[in-house]
């Protein structure tokens, strides 16, 4: 069976010699289609490094990364960019929207980058934003949107090219608990699992355990399965 994402013995070391720091140590991870996986762990445990490698933003020191069955860890920068555009969706803690573009234009942008233009892109962006409850806020710029609204625009942008895998880094980090819960339910249930899309979420937020199929614990660069009911201290 092809996993959406597979990491085999992936390690990442920063620096050399005596100053070397191992952020991830022989990590193995398989994500199935439609699966929602939470990666938790204390600060500095290597969560962001792991997500960056999974998101093809950071090269590995060793190990293999496959996306949709294709080994990608040694691919060229342009091929990895193409893979990020077509097969991955990103949701960030600080939204990272283009401040000069409206909500709908932010969503259209990634479709334009993938070659989808004109009314087709506009219609899809409008539809996604409407599904996320932003039908009335299409022409607002990020500065005029609340944190929850911005994150929903970011989710719409992540879904715009219909990727099979979404990678989310602390998506509720800047949201209050109620808004965070709403946003994640929208992402994971309505637009994620129900559409066969896999989602990997790196978070400190314990409340997200309820929407995940699996919870993984990362500490000292090593990943382990947990049942989600008991988690070590996050600090």
What residues line the site for another protein (CB under 8 A)? 48, 51-52, 55, 57-58, 77-78, 81-86, 88, 90, 92-94, 96, 98-101, 105, 109-110, 112-114, 157, 169-170, 173-174
Closest distance between another protein and the C-beta of residue 49, in Å?
9
* Torsional class of 95: left (φ above 0), alpha (ψ -120 to 50), beta (otherwise): left
- Find the shortest distance in angstroms from Cβ 61 to another protein: 15
Classify residue 96 by burial, with Cβ atoms within 10 Å: 0-12, 13-18, 19+.
Answer: middle
Task: Find the shortest distance in angstroms from Cβ 90 to another protein.
Answer: 6
Pick the closer one to another protein by CB: 79 or 207.
79
**DSSP count for the chain of H helices, then E strands:** 6, 10
Cβ nearer to another protein, comparing 137 with 157: 157
Residue with smaller CB distance to another protein, 113 or 231: 113
Kindly write down the DSSP assignment for every residue of 49-97, as one continuous string.
Answer: HHHHHHTTSS--SEEEEEETTEE-TTS-HHHHHHHHHHHEEEE-TT---
Neighbours of 220 (CB within 10 A): 13
Least distance between another protein and beta carbon 230 (Å): 28
Return the half-sphere exposure (C-beta side, CA atoms, 13 A cut-off) of residue 147: 14
Strand partners, 31: 5
Nearer to another protein, 229 or 235 (CB): 235
Residue closer to another protein by CB (options 26, 204) is 204
CB of 1 to another protein, least distance (A): 26
């Amino acid at each position: 069976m092809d996993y959406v994402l597979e990491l085999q013995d992936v390690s990442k070391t920063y620096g050399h010699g005596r100053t070397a720091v191992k952020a991830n140590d022989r990590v193995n991870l398989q994500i199935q289609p439609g699966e929602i996986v939470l990666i938790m762990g204390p600060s500095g445990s290597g969560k962001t490094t792991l997500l960056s490698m999974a998101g093809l933003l950071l090269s590995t020191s060793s190990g293999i990364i496959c996306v949709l069955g294709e080994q990608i860890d040694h691919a060229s920068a342009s091929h990895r960019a193409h893979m990020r555009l077509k097969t991955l969706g990103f949701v960030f803690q600080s939204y990272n929207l283009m401040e000069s573009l409206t909500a709908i234009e932010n969503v259209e942008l990634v479709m334009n980058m993938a070659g989808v233009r004109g009314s087709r892109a506009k219609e899809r962006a409008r539809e996604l934003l409407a599904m996320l409850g932003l039908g009335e806020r299409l022409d607002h710029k990020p500065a005029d949107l609340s944190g929850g609204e911005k994150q929903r625009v970011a989710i719409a942008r992540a879904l715009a090219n219909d990727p099979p895998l979404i990678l989310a880094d602390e998506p509720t980090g800047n949201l209050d608990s109620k808004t965070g819960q709403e946003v994640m339910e929208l992402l994971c249930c309505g637009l994620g699992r129900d559409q066969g899309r896999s989602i990997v979420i790196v978070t400190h937020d314990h409340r997200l355990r309820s929407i995940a199929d699996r919870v993984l614990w990362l500490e000292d660069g090593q990943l382990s399965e947990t049942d989600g009911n008991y988690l070590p201290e996050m600090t």
